[in-house]
Amino acid sequence: MNSTTTIKIYPDVKLELDNFRENKNESYSDVIKKVIYIAKNSKKNPKLSAETIDAIEKARKRIQLGKFLTEDEAKKRLGL
């Protein structure tokens, strides 16, 4: 069973976390996991991390512009 905890954060930190959300349904826990993953990988391989961050930012911009396929649309195109 997963347990949860409450943390206090400043409003400016919440705003920064909101900016990392890819959609409104993404939990703060998921956002924090993503940030931790990026931080860990940037220490291991800084060059790859810069490329990954750039790719993530480009993908986020496409999503914000509505330029993406839903899972159902992708399956339909692939004939699945």
pLDDT of residue 2: 75
Q: Is 66 left (phi over 0), alpha (psi -120 to 50) or beta?
A: left
Model confidence pLDDT, tens digit, residues 22-69: 878 888 999 899 888 888 877 777 776 777 778 888 888 888 888 877
- Cα–Cα nearest to 2, from 22, 25, 24, 27: 27
The pTM (predicted TM-score) of the whole model is 0.53
Q: What pLDDT was estimated at residue 10? A: 93
Structure tokens given for 31: 């956002």
Answer yes or no: is pLDDT of 1 > 70. no
Q: Higher pLDDT residue, 6 or 50?
A: 6
